[in-house]
Structures are given as structure tokens and as C-alpha cells.
Homo-oligomer: A and B are copies of this chain.
Amino acid sequence: MADNPGTTRRLAQFVAAARCDDLPPQVAHQAKRSLMNIFAAALAGRRDATINTALASLVPFSGGRQAALIGRRERLDVLGAAFVNAAGANVLDFCDTHVPTAIHPTAPIAPALLALASLKPVHGHDLLHALALGQEVACRIGLAMSPSHYNRGWHITATCGVFGAAAGAGKLLGLDAEQMVWAFGTAATQASGLCECLGTPAKSVGVGNAARNGLWSALLAAQNFAGPGEPLTGAQGYYHALSETPDLSRLINGLGESWEIMKTSYKPYPCGFVLHPVIDCVLDWRREYPGAAVRAVEVTGNPLLGLRADRPTVSTGAQSQVSVQHAVAAALITGKAGIEQFSDSCVNDPTVAAMRGNVTVVRDDSIATVAATIKITTADRKTYALSQPAARGSDANPMSDQDLEDKLRAAAATWNPRHDIAPLIDAIWQLDTSEDASQLTALAVPRD
């Protein structure tokens, strides 16, 4: 690999020197959209059994009720809250996605910043700035080793998210460039998370740790806790261990000129984003032929679809979120693809289970990850060909601001129909004028 001393330092200098006033308005707006989405995802996932167990395991060791949890009345210490809110935001796979890397950038970063805002006052515009910077760092570190890093089995949301949380928290703490390098070093030595855990509770530990450990790395750096001078590109550093031949130009070139947060998409469905164009096709067809009996479905998609989600046998809601077969079957039978369709009960519905057996997956290098084609054969042996060139929610076919508000409203309704979520929606859109960013989490806590 190309040894390139100075890469970590240049990245750190960019973050340390960035000025809030220079953040382009459309980037700040996208940061608000990512917050709208992450609160929706966290409220939808707030009572998942995985989060209940992880939270219960931390309570006995937690240093008091310092920081709020989204959608729950329990409180935890600041590091624990960063963990639980990040894990909860990602548990249903309802996150935003940075399409070039498949990183879910907001889940490991925003909870770290909101938890830090419980520890010290943070202005809303500074939080938006730190969130955009954090996403920039996480996504660029991932870009430089995509797709080989993810293909090797690394859960890139966690392994890059820890740097994003460190960068964003470090910015809010006012770290200088040297301290930022140290924060990246402590983050690098904590970078972990395996794709083998996707579809199981263990996945949430990687994502939660990225938030907790990135935040902690920044707090340590603020106390001058040192690390190596080039943790990313040093001879025994992060890229040497976790990637093949990183393209460092993708990490460094054009910093501050373009923003990776503008390349994120949002999910209308709570499952792996590679499934989304497939679901679009199925739901469209189902609306047109609501009564047709289906004999077979052939799905053709990017190889990543097959690699991540060609999963004919599933037994839990979590597994179903990365199963083409289940997503197609549930959408065909219920005409929907919401939280209920990726629950244990839907997975164990015999009709859905039988339909999963009719679904096959074909891998095609020429198809983008946001696209898919499907061929449906009905009982009367008619065939229907459908294609979706850009999934709803992807950057070419984005969810509108209104769509994101609706997603948050729907998630809040599954949580507590009596809780008025409008103040949270308003607070997110007006965050750049708020002197207390920690109010966001407070507005997502049950009051009775």
C-alpha cells in the first residue's frame, strides 16, 4: 500500500480548522434531514428486544442519569447513552445510507454528539456542523478502501463510524489538529465490527460502540491522551490492517469543497437498503394486480444484493431485514413493507414462509446497488417484468422533507400515539437557532 505520511494529520487539520459559518446552507439542511431520519429510526427501534437487553446490561454499571434515551424514560451516563441511542437508531436497519460506501453515517455519530450536548452546552448550528464533519470523516475513510473493506467482512458503519463520532465530538470539544490526530488514533485502535453479525443482536454492539468509543476517544484527546502520529497510514496502522490498497486521494482530495452527506439516501422501508428497489417493484406490481396468485419471483440485482441478502431461510425479524426472499414474500402478501413486515410474527407466518420458497436471486455486475429488476410469474403462467433504476429514497429519487417528517410521525405513532411529535419536528428544522442542542433528545422522551 502507498505509505503517505501526513494523511491523518491533513484530515485532522481540516476538521480542526473548519468554520461553522462556512457550512453551505444545503449541507446544514441535509444534516437536519439526517437528524429527522435518525429520530424516526430510533423511535421505531426503541423497544426492540436487542436494545432492551443491551440497556439492561449497562444500567448496573452506569454512572447515573446524565443523558436521555430516545423514546425511553430511562437515562444513562453520557457514554452509555451514546451507545444505546446509536444501537437503537440502527437496530431496525432504518438508517440513512452513504451510497458510495454503504455506511450508515448518522447512527454512530449523531447520538455521540447529542450525548456530549448533555455534558456541556452545544449550540444547534455547531451540532449541525459537527454532524456534517463527522459524516465527512467517516465516509471518506470508508471511500478510500471501498469496496474491498466491506467485502472482507468489515461492518463499515462501525469501523468508520468510530472516526466520525471522534471527529464530530472532537470538533464540539474544540480539539486542535494534534489532539484530533490523537482522537483518530484512539478511535483507530477501537475500530471493529463484523458483517457476520448482521441480522443478529451482536450487530448492535458494533454500531453502539462506534458512537461510545468515538466520543470517548475525543474526550481522552481533550485531556491530551496521545496516540501515534499517523494512525491511518502508519506502517502498522489502520489501513495496513483493515484494507488492501487504499486510495488515499479519495480521503483527502477536495475536502471542504464537496460534502459526502449530500450523497446519503433515506429509507422508506426498515430493512437493508439493497432490498429497497426490489420492494419498490413488488409494491407497484401488487397495487396493480392485488388478487394475482404468484408462482415465482426472480430478482436480479447488484452482486452486493446477493452477497448481503440472498437469504432464503430466516427465523427472526432481524434476519428478515437482510433477506430478499422475505422482503419479496411479505410485500407480495401484505402489500406493505413497514415495521410489521419485518417482525418475528410476519417471519413466522406460514403463508409468507411458503412464498419465500418461490423467490430466487441473480447477481448482475451491470446493475447499480440502488437498482433492481424482477420477473414475476403468476399461477396462470403469465410473466411480468419490472425494473426500478433508482430506489425511492436514493439520491436520484430522494425522500422529500415531507416524506421524512411523515416517517418520523409514523414511527412516533407506533411508539405512543398520544405523544405530540410536532415540537421535535419543529426543533429539528430550527436547530440552527437553538442554543441547547440537547433539547432534541428531550423532545423524544415520554413525559408520562
A-to-B contact residues, CB < 8 Å: 50, 53-54, 56-57, 59-64, 66, 77-80, 152-155, 158, 182, 185-186, 188-203, 205-206, 209, 213, 216, 219-220, 223-228, 230-231, 234-238, 240-242
Partner of A186 from B59, B186, B202, B227 at Cβ < 8 Å: B202
A227 and chain B: residue at smallest CB distance: B202
What are 29 A-B pairs at a CB distance below 8 A?
A53-B220, A53-B223, A56-B223, A57-B216, A57-B220, A57-B225, A59-B63, A61-B78, A61-B79, A62-B77, A152-B241, A153-B240, A155-B189, A158-B189, A188-B194, A188-B196, A188-B202, A189-B197, A189-B202, A189-B203, A190-B209, A196-B231, A196-B237, A196-B240, A197-B228, A199-B228, A201-B226, A202-B227, A209-B213
A152 touches B200 (CB 8 A): no
Inside 8 A of A237's CB, which chain B residues have their CB? Answer: 153, 194, 196
Inside 8 A of A193's CB, which chain B residues have their CB? Answer: 189
A82 and chain B: residue at smallest CB distance: B61
Chain B nearest CB from A245 CB (Å) reads: 14
CA distance A219 to B53 in the complex (A): 10
B206 touches A153 (CB 8 A): no
Inside 8 A of A56's CB, which chain B residues have their CB? Answer: 223
Chain B nearest CB from A188 CB (Å) reads: 6
Q: How many copies does the complex hold?
A: 2
CA distance A66 to B61 in the complex (A): 8
Which among A199, A230, A231 has the highest number of chain B CB atoms within 10 Å?
A231
B185 touches A197 (CB 8 A): yes
A240 and chain B: residue at smallest CB distance: B153
Inside 8 A of A194's CB, which chain B residues have their CB? Answer: 188-189, 231, 236-238, 241
Inside 8 A of A185's CB, which chain B residues have their CB? Answer: 196-197, 200, 202
